[in-house]
Amino acid sequence: MASEISPWSFPDTPGPRPRMGHPCATEALLLNAIPQPLLWFFGAIKRTEAEKQLLHSGNEPGAFLIRESESRKGDFALSVLDERVVKHYRIRRLDEGEFFLSQKRTFPTLNEFVSHYTKTSDGLCVQLGKPCLKIQVPVTFDLSYKTADQWEIDRSSVQLLKRLGSGQFGEVWEGLWNNTTSVAVKTLKPGSMDPNDFLREAQIMKNLRHPKLIQLYAVCTLEDPIYIITELMRHGSLQEYLQNDAGAKIHLNQQVDMATQVACGMAYLESQNYIHRDLAARNVLVGEHNIYKVADFGLARVFKVDNEDIYESKHDIKLPVKWTAPEAIRTNKFSIKSDVWSFGILLYEIITYGKVPYSGLTGAQVIQMLGQNYRLPQPPNCPSQFYNIMWECWNAEPKNRPTFETLLWKFEDYFETDVSFSDHK
């Protein structure tokens, strides 16, 4: 509405004004006329970019910024540096227009919101300090850009440096492309499987571009062994990461962040009509600065039939029973809602620091118990709020399970309810 005043509008300032309309003039106005408190507003930057900015070495704990929300248009988010981890809070508004994190305390403007939390943490992970430095990140073109149209690259340009893992069908290596770019290289053991099945993962990855999905860079298919080359995630699988030191250094706020980032990637798959079919902690990879991405699209499929969201597998595929939805086990039919069930099991892995679900039970026993409406019990030290989300994912009726978009909202808002807000400390 024309009468509505932007919460970060600023008063007239003395001195000559640059003429508006030219980008340089606009930039000069922003740099010279914005009062100091508004240096914290970063506009419509993505969550991942906010993390990069805050994790710059020039920022100290308490550095913060406010940005426009990615998932909820018209809303805002507070991103703040707590030691070397970035925490995110959704800033909500009352119908009257006041801003708040907890309804116990509201503010008529974002300026007053910031002013309050720079004086006291009042439930935040840390008291707000200085606004985040605005780092001008140079534009670089990584391997994904250079191979966007030409996926096949010369095998001699890839060095295999360190084997990260091996399995029935091949190995995964840390590699170097053109002596400049660190990559992960998945190799196919000759004769172990149909190369077309192996390359199907690359075909799927070509169509999927999102910050929370592992990105395909290139392939080498002209001779054995076939390579699939992707971005490198240095900390390995989420399963191993959670199990390291029994999660001694991982706390609830980081576990919620793991769930949020995975839900973000899966919400993108959902929007693109893809189903993953093998979502589990072993298939989520961990990068620098607490970045988590969904990987292993070997079983992923796309469905494009109007009003049809079910994929029926035509082949006898070994299913990870303890992660697979009951209806998919019974009928071999998969949907995005069967992925939601698997996400609930992934949440169990996250909150238990990588424990195997249904420990001590065989797959056959699990199938029988699920048929009797058995569900994994609430683990010790698992907050009820977290477990309730898991329980929603395990609804017997797929249509009654939440969407990944809804799950993303739930975890973005996790620490912003009155009951749990203080738990973020």
* 3-state secondary structure labels for all residues of 126-195: CCCCCECCCCCCCCCCCHHHHCCCCCECCHHHEEEEEEEEECCCEEEEEEEECCCEEEEEEEECCCCCCH
Cβ–Cβ < 8 Å for 375, 393:
no
Instruction: Indicate the Cα dihedral angle 332, 336, 339, 341, nearest 10°.
Output: -90
The first and second tokens of residue 102, run together, are 């907890």
**Residue 278 is a catalytic residue:** yes
DSSP state of 70: S
Q: Which of 257, 278, 296, 339 is catalytic?
A: 278
DSSP state of 109: S
Pairwise CA distance, residues 276 & 294, whole Å: 9
The first and second tokens of residue 279, run together, are 């979502």
Amino acid at 128: L
Name every residue whose Cβ is closer than 8 Å to that of residue 362 and which is 6 or more positions away in sequence: none
Q: What is the DSSP string of 198-248?
A: HHHHHHHHHT---TTBPPEEEEE-SSSSPEEEEE--TT-BHHHHHHGGGGT
Going from the C-alpha of 91 to that of each of 4, 73, 83, 333, 344, the distances in angstroms are: 18, 12, 22, 40, 26
Secondary structure class of 93 (helix, strand, coil): strand
Going from the C-alpha of 124 to that of each of 70, 89, 102, 119, 152, the distances in angstroms are: 21, 9, 10, 12, 48
Give the orientation angle of helix 404-412 with respect to helix 336-351, to 10 degrees.
Answer: 30
Pairwise CA distance, residues 289 & 248, whole Å: 17
300 by Cβ neighbours in 10 Å (0-12 / 13-18 / 19+) ranks as buried
Pairwise CA distance, residues 122 & 184, whole Å: 43
Provide the annotated active-site residues: 278
